[in-house]
Structure 1
Amino acid sequence: MPSSSATPARRNQQGRPRRRRPQAKAGNAKPAKRSLFDEVGVTAVDPAPFADLGLPKRLVRALHDNGMREAFPIQAATIPDALTGRDVLGRGQTGSGKTLAFGLPLLAMQTENARPMRPRALVLVPTRELATQVTDSLKPLAKSLGLYVREVVGGTSFNRQVDTLRRGVDVLVATPGRLNDHLRQGTCDLSEVERTALDEADQMADMGFLPQVREILDLVPSDGQRLLFSATLDGDVDKLVERYMTDPVVHSLAPPSASVDSMEHHQFLVSTTDKQSVLARIAARDGRTIMFVRTKHHADRLAKKLRAVGVEAGALHGGKAQNARTRILDEFKNASSSTLVATNVAARGIHIDDVSLVVHVEPPADPKDYLHRAGRTARAGSSGTVVTLVTDDQKQAFRAMANQAGVTAITTEIRPHDAELARLTGAREPSGTPLAVPQRQQPKPAKSRGEHRPQRAPRGTEPSRRGGDSPRRGTGSGSGNNRARRGGTNGGRTGAQQRARRSNSPR
């Protein structure tokens, strides 16, 4: 019999003994798996002329015509390997030129035009804005080779995209959700895709798109080429590499934290009561400013407050229709508005020249979010300033996040009228004159696939005088409006006269 001093086994709610988790033995802890980026280290590649990378002469000439003669390091490192047909896995800091790193090989290796609804090359991106940017970058270059680059994204007409696909698209740039819609409807076929590029794969993982990405890649021929660019190989992205890439050539130009070196990072300690005034003065500065917030409601609210004090500001977030998002970005790019208030939808892949200041209205919780938001400034060798507004209750969280991001921020206590605020950011007093929201004609909503035109109202019905949509009661049919004008129920006509009048009227 067991000793009475023995400790009784713990039991679960069903009365069964609980299973103990196996304890790891000292010294036998499993080491963290090293990613392919960690294994290869940082690739040292100097810029090189596009003419030396093996690209077709017509494509090199088109690059020269667009003012591009020398490839950035990420392009010089990956393009020669991609042109051999090898799978390529690449990492480069934001603004390093990844779009052409995968886009030029996709164009250069096209041997014939695509058939209707069967693209020959595919680019998957996480956001509509990035899809538009990739398309705009590749279109003029593709034209020199007689190729067509088009995008398929949500928020725009499905039927127009169907018409585009039917005309034949050589390089299709798509977001996973909308492309899956076309695949389910049978309006796109990936069986002839020869090369696939995934841009910002880690962001697609963060946004929950990888199940859709896997569905898409399962429909692409397995012997095709894969080009994948990602800042990290965390979790699901690593699984994606293992499942869909074959012996990839790996180029790691810089870790995500490398981009912080060309920026000034500041932590502004502000009180809750001063925060809005500080933001308004920063937004009134000369130059382009992006202010990042966490939610779409905060973006709309802050942009409205800034306009109320005379600052041209627009809000950009995923809750807006695509045409509105495009318009707001265009206004910011052409300096019609000086301040963009955005959620993380603008944190990656969006290239806007001369953004000299990025403001975190609240400290981001994720260090990757901080780095990618900050990467909207100091692009392609330029310098920039990154400011985070921190209240007393956020100090500890910001310190922990900054340490993980590898950022050392200069801490300054700030009040709205401090000279230091003006010196560091160019802040100034806004005009105080409210700006009216421009009145724009609302476009007619696009008719999506499967929609039918609304049926005409039955004869004898008309909108109620009270402004409702319910039918007007009465015995007449086609002459309700005439009856209303003449003040009678049937305009003084008998039922037989009304029927005769209807039968003789033109249809």
Structure 2
Amino acid sequence: MSSSFADLGVGAPIVKALADQGITAPFPIQQKTLVHTLAGRDVLGRGKTGSGKTLAFSIPLVTRLAGGRSAQPRGLVLAPTRELATQIAATVRPLAAAHNLKVTTIFGGVPQNRQAGALRSGVDILVACPGRLEDLMRQRIVSLDAVEITVVDEADHMADLGFLPGVTRILSATPRGGQRLLFSATLDNGVDTLVTKFLRDPVTHSVDEAHSPVPEMTHHVFHVAGVQQKKELVHQLASGTGRRILFMRTKHQARKLAKTLTDAGVPSVDLHGNLSQPARDRNLAAFTSGAARVLVATDIAARGVHVDDVELVVHVDPPVEHKAYLHRSGRTARAGNTGDVVTVVLPEQRRDVQVLMRRAGIDVTPQRVAADSPEVVTLVGEKAPYQPPRSQPVVDVRGGRPPHGGGARRGGSRATGARHDRARNGAASDRGAAGQPRHAGARRTDAPRAARRRAGRPTRVSSTGR
């Protein structure tokens, strides 16, 4: 195997851009695919989460487009979720900058005006989710006639979300002679049909079996006596100094736990489908920067969310499917790093979790624990010092701006997802009066409160934040 990117034929500008990020040695999936992708071959890549596939397709994508120009996009990457599209673009941009190529992202959940403006001003590489891209194609804002290389990432997740018909229409709109790279953990649910229809004589490369557990992960199954013991254990697991992701079954419980942890002095943010895209971006940015140490998420974060140095994943609510278990767990132990995964199990869940682990290929002996058990204390390691919530410069757990004084707001709004959407309808939707960012769940006006302020009377705030 080649020991450097230069040995694999990667050009000097990209080698330098990688080195500037501290990336000097290719991972196995990059070593196996680059020799073919750089030669213009279609490639079918199958690799476990965190294997380095984003760079495996970003390098040939930029290399192929270097030196050329067009009024329309020449490179296209399709991703199933907004978060994954954003992170792919973050990986591609430094490489594209080395060749003066412009990159933009296209996804729903935000007004299209800015995206349409970027397309009209000229884009070389488009990273897109299928739904919004098809909308813009129907409006004739974007054409795929000039696309030379197309990447479909996480095609199996596209299938799970029902996106394959849209992906098929999009690929049919690209030139037949273009290069196509497809990455997928499995070839079921219609992915095999996509491969047969659109890839020409593809070279197939696999790194580990599909859905195989990552050897750098250490798995733990913690049995607890009841709901109160579970709550205490989860708070203990969340209290360490490093980054950790806690997975919940429902949006409501994810929001509630993030607020509870923040109020207890553990800076936390949530990520789920009820948040608007600006709120998702802010919360994920807070977690990435370290302003929040804990991300409490639903399965929306199980795939496509990559944050460096996540040391612990906790399945607060065990998933139903073994695929979901492996994808959730894959947020740690990425790119050769190590990590721990904990599944918290109530008595009535023990049989189901036993079946889940067997299907996931995980051989682990369950342990009955309490929050202060040695196994738990060792896993948590050094606990972060308590930080009073009002002194933390952390975004609100619903994803809005920090409250006055920089502290975490205790009684945040309980706005539903529908209210989030209504509050953000239009280009200025995430701005309040005088252009200030609006709290993710804030109402547009509060006339009685404003009147009391003008009259100099004290403002009463209820414990619910309503």
CA gap 1:434/1:109 in 2 versus in 1, 3 angstroms: closer
Determine the C-alpha separation between the residues in 2 that align with 1:427 and 1:389. 21
Please tell me whether the aligned partners of residues 49 and 69 of structure 1 are also in contact (alpha carbons under 8 angstroms): yes
Counterpart in the other structure of 1:493: none
The amino acid across from 1:211 in the alignment is P
1:422 alignment partner AA: V
Deviation at residue 432 of structure 1 after TM alignment: 9.1
* 1:96 to 2:75 alignment: no
Q: Name the amino acid aligned to 2:184.
A: S
Confirm whether residue 352 of structure 1 aligns to residue 313 of structure 2: no
CA contact (8 A) 1:265 1:410 kept: no
2:219 partner SS: strand
| Alignment partners' CA distance in 1, 2:117 and 2:389 | 44
Cα distance in 2 for residues equivalent to 1:338 and 1:381: 22
Secondary structure, aligned partner of 2:172? helix
Counterpart-to-counterpart distance in 1, 2:402 and 2:345: 40
2:401 counterpart letter in structure 1 = R
1:361 is the counterpart of 2:316: yes
Match of 2:146 among 192, 196, 199: 192
Counterpart position of 1:221: 175
Deviation at 1:57, TM superposition (A): 2.5
Q: Please, which moves more after superposition, 432-441 or 76-85?
A: 432-441
Q: Aligned partners of 1:304, 1:68: CA distance in 2, in Å?
A: 37
Assess if the C-alpha contact under 8 Å between 1:281 and 1:429 holds in 2. no
**Which residue matches 2:164?**
210
Q: Which amino acid aligns with 2:301?
A: A
Letter in 2 for 1:134: I
Answer yes or no: is the 8 Å Cα contact 2:220–2:366 preserved in 1. yes
Letter of the structure 2 residue corresponding to residue 289 of structure 1 = R
Corresponding letter in the other structure for 1:54: G
Structure 1: where are the runs of 5+ without partners?
1-45, 450-465, 469-507
Does the aligned pair in 2 maintain the 1:201–1:230 contact within 8 Å? yes
Give the match for residue 85 of structure 2: 131
Give, in whole Å, the separation in 2 of the partners of 1:220 and 1:441.
44
Give 1:340 deviation, angstroms: 0.5
How far apart, in 2, do the equivalents of 1:401 and 1:427 lie? 31
SS of the counterpart of 1:228?
Answer: strand
Other-structure match for 1:447:
426
Q: Tell me which moved more, 119-128 or 422-431.
A: 422-431
Quick check: 353-362 or 254-263, which moved more?
A: 254-263
Matched, 1:77 2:38: no
Q: Is the 8 A contact 1:195 1:224 kept in 2?
A: yes
- The superposition leaves residues 172-210 of structure 1 with CA deviations (integer Å, 9 ceiling, x where unpaired) of 000111111111111110111111101111111111211
Distance 2:260 2:7 in 1: 52
Superposed CA deviations along residues 64-108 of structure 1, whole A, max 9, x for unmatched, are 333222211111111111122211000112111111111111111
Residue by residue over 1:19-72, the C-alpha shift from the partner in whole angstroms, topping out at 9 and shown as x without a partner, is xxxxxxxxxxxxxxxxxxxxxxxxxxx453111122233222322333222211
SS of match in other structure, 1:48: coil
- Give the TM-score taking structure 1 as reference length: 0.75
Asked if structure 2 preserves the Cα contact closer than 8 Å seen for 1:48 and 1:73, the reply is: no
Change (3 A) 1:102 1:382: same
Decide which of 236, 244, 254 is 1:289's aligned counterpart.
244
4+ residue segments displaced more than 6 Å: 441-444
The one-letter code sitting in structure 2 at the alignment partner of 1:135 is A
The alignment status of 1:410 with 2:389, answered yes or no, reads no
Q: What percentage of aligned pairs have identical amino acids? A: 47
Within the alignment, does 1:172 sit opposite 2:151 as a pair?
A: no
CA deviation profile, 1:344-383 (whole Å, cap 9, x unmatched) = 2221222211111100011111111111111111112211
Q: Any conservation in 1 of the 2:236–2:380 contact (CA below 8 Å)?
A: no
| Equivalent of 1:325 in 276, 280, 283 | 280
The letter for the 2-side match of 1:417 is: D
Equivalent residue runs for 1:108-147 within 5 Å? 108-110=63-65, 112-116=67-71, 118-147=72-101
For 1:231 and 1:126, locate their aligned partners in 2 and report how far apart those are by CA, in whole Å. 14
Q: Give the Å deviation of 1:467.
A: 6.8
CA distance in 1, matches of 2:388, 2:23: 43
Distance 1:274 1:414 in 2: 9
- What do residues 479-500 of structure 1 show as CA deviations (whole Å, max 9, x unaligned)? xxxxxxxxxxxxxxxxxxxxxx
Partner of 2:353: 398
The alpha carbon displacement at 1:448 in A equals 5.7
For 1:275, the aligned partner's letter is K
Query: Any conservation in 1 of the 2:9–2:38 contact (CA below 8 Å)?
Result: yes
Question: What is the CA–CA distance in structure 2 between the aligned matches of 1:61 and 1:295, rounded to whole Å?
Answer: 44
RMSD, aligned CA: 2.5
SS class of match (1:304): helix
The DSSP-based 3-state class of the residue aligned with 1:90 is strand
Counterpart-to-counterpart distance in 2, 1:88 and 1:194: 14
Equivalent of 2:339 in 384, 396, 404: 384
1:201 aligns with 2:155: yes
| Number of residue-to-residue matches in the alignment | 406
- SS, match of residue 70 in structure 2: coil
1:238-296 Cα shifts (integer Å, max 9, x gaps): 11111211211000111244443211111111122211121111111221110011222
Instruction: Quote the Cα distance in structure 2 between the aligned partners of 1:66 and 1:243.
Output: 37
Q: SS of the residue aligned with 1:186? A: coil
Q: Any conservation in 2 of the 1:53–1:79 contact (CA below 8 Å)?
A: yes
Shift in Å, 1:212? 1.4
Q: 1:308 to 1:160 in 2, by over 3 A?
A: same
* Partner deviation per Cα, 1:301-360 (whole Å, 9 max, x = no partner): 111222232221100112212221111111112211111001122212222111111000
Q: Is the 8 A contact 2:213 2:360 kept in 1?
A: no
By how many angstroms is 1:434 displaced? 5.0
1:88 & 1:74 partners in 2: Cα distance? 11
Q: Which residue of 2 aligns with 1:488?
A: none
Task: State whether structure 2 residue 233 is matched by structure 1 residue 275.
Answer: no
Equivalent residue letter for 1:358 = V
User: Max radius of gyration: which structure?
Assistant: 1
TM-score, normalised by the number of residues in structure 2: 0.82
Q: Render the CA deviation track for 1:367-425: whole Å, top value 9, x for unaligned.
A: 11111111111112211110001111111111111111101123111222333321233
- Counterparts of 2:145 and 2:136 in 1: how far apart (Å)? 14
Q: Residue type matched to 1:204 in 2?
A: M
State the match for 1:498 in structure 2.
none
How far did residue 114 of structure 1 move? 4.3
- The alpha-carbon deviation at position 111 of structure 1 amounts to 5.4
Give, as a single letter, the amino acid of the residue that structure 2 aligns with 1:244: F
